[in-house]
Amino acid sequence: MLCVAIPFGSGPRAHSFVESMKNDLLLALNQLAAEKNLPAETVYEAVEAALTSAFRREEDDAPNMYVKIDARNGEIRAYRQMFVVEEVENPRVEMSVEEARRWKPDARPGDVLDFEEEIPKNAGRIAAQTAKQVVLQRLREAERDAIYEEYIHKVGELLVGTVQKVEA
């Protein structure tokens, strides 16, 4: 009897499920941008900042992590930035010139190298809450800025309208 171990979450059905989730993410982000009357890039940046914050918290406050979302296919990638230095004082954020030259032959002190990291599989509840709070805060700020930009050039004009919502 032949036994083959297939990791959970692999195979053709899992692949189509992941692709479906990516498409759903893109659809949701674009729909959110349309509902809030914001550029899609603003929403993507808010979600990237939220995921970055969540992953940093999950990875023991890794200050050199950041996240990017590919707007074409929904791919989420996490990166760790490493600073090239003569003498390494903090190996979590710095690497020696010799080590950096294995990745980039002409690396010099002061360069910054980006390394793709695996996205944490089990982002916890606190990380999810952090991500949600960051997204909501960024979207509120973007909405406020958009409203300000819409009306700043109308200072001194007489406008007629109905108040629908008052924010503090």
pLDDT tens for the 168 residues of the chain, in order: 333 333 444 444 444 545 666 777 778 888 888 887 888 888 888 888 888 887 777 666 577 888 888 888 888 888 888 999 999 998 888 999 999 999 899 999 999 999 988 776 665 566 667 767 777 888 888 888 888 998 899 899 888 989 888 876
Please state at what angle helix 12-36 crosses helix 125-151, rounded to 10 degrees. Answer: 30
**20 burial type by CB count under 10 A (0-12 exposed, 13-18 middle, 19+ buried):** exposed
Give the per-residue pLDDT at 2.
36
Residues 154 and 18: their CA atoms lie apart, in Å, by: 47
pLDDT for the residue 99: 92
**Confidence (pLDDT) at 152:** 92
Say how many CA atoms lie within 13 Å of 161 toward its Cβ: 7
Tokens matching residue 46: 């808010």
37's tokens: 């009357």
pLDDT at 89: 92
User: In angstroms, how far is the first alpha carbon of the chain from the final one?
Assistant: 70
Tokens representing 154 are 């109308």
- Report how far residue 49's alpha carbon sits from residue 36's, in angstroms, rounded to the nearest whole number: 18
